[in-house]
Homo-oligomer: A and B are copies of this chain.
Amino acid sequence: MAGSTFGSIFRMTTWGESHGKGIGVVVDGCPAGVCLCEEDIQKFLNRRKPGQSRFTTPRKEADEVTILSGVFEGKTTGTPISLVVMNTDQRSHDYSEISTYYRPGHADYTFDEKYGFRDYRGGGRSSGRETIARVAAGAVAMKVLEFLGISVCAYAKEIGGIAVDESCMDLAECENNAFYMPDAKAAERVMALADQKLKEHDSIGGIVECRIDGVPAGLGEPVFDKVDANLAKAIVSIGAVKGFEVGCGFAAARSTGSQNNDVFRMKDGAVVKETNAAGGILGGMTDGDQIVFRAAFKPTPSIARPQQTVNRSGEEIEVSIKGRHDPMIVPRAVVVVECMAAAVILDELLVNMSARADRIKDFYGR
């Protein structure tokens, strides 16, 4: 059942393995007439590239995107946009060992169970490199959202249990530290912790938060295709995500109705909410307020310290995973969350256009 396509009208179909010839995505359903060039996409890919600090894998990956179709004279044509990032680092590693056993916390075992065998080179299809395709597609969505006056912004909210201090959060700060954290002090503490974990050959997890501004009220469908339900699927489908929450999220479960209900007010002739426990979504539909959600990432499963596991022959063995791996997933995952969110919101905008008969009549000028 396929499973490599995401979205209803704005749709991405991804392909590629970590150490195959390349990674790519076909973006179908992108509206015509939006300015788009490779640099628009490259700048998002650069944010997920490894090797940018000692806390990400030092592997060299150029990750240069090429637009193969769907853009003509600098504008999207409405037809599918094929984007590809060729894998440059394809020299023959020695995978003879890794091919024989199941790494704990990885999809090796489940892949074998599903398909009977797997492309074991660098994790194959379940590698983190799969997110290149998501980022490339999301960058296209981001360009359309920008044209429509909508902005999406994600950042590290918490890493290894060290959270951003919300009272002095500064988004501009994200660019100044290796963790994409909007709080310099928290980032410093994370750096110390990360250095310690690197020494211990261990890894840490964290939480990414995402905010979306400028979204009109009324997007989303009231039952299964709620905006938050679609965001939940988009975000939980990112490798290593183990939790999703919108607005007050799990904290709402410990709140009361009188605390958690956002009071409606009038402001400049418009209906607004005094607070935003809802995270910008009521009954699955956007309420015009900022959309806020969070994703919980588990620690990187690839750790250098020895681990117990089993091999394909059914023997219990001890393994040490070689190579340098990211001691945490969060910093590079921020842009992935942002891009998946952008794809969802653009899709909701397009889907919502057919909600009202009078607007359809206006649209077709009748």
Contacts and interface: CB of A to CB of B under 8 A. Distances in A.
B16 A117 contact: no
Contacts of A58: none
B113 A285 contact: yes
B364 A148 contact: yes
Contacts of A161: 253-254
Contacts of A308: 263-265, 274
Contacts of A69: 15-17, 20-24
A14 interface: yes
B260 A105 contact: yes
A276 interface: no
A221 to B, nearest CB: 3
A271 B33 contact: no
Contacts of A230: 233
A278 interface: yes
Interface in A1-57: 1-11, 13-17, 20-24, 26, 28-29, 31-34
Contacts of A67: 21
A355 B68 contact: no
Interface residues of A, number: 168
A206 to B, nearest CB: 5
A291 interface: no
A249 B2 CA distance: 27
Contact of A80 (B13, B84, B259, B301): B13
A192 interface: no
A266 interface: yes
Contacts of A147: 357, 361
A189 to B, nearest CB: 14
Contacts of A222: 3, 79, 107, 111, 114, 125-126
Given A148-B366, A243-B245, A353-B360, 4 more contacts: A15-B28, A20-B69, A223-B237, A236-B246
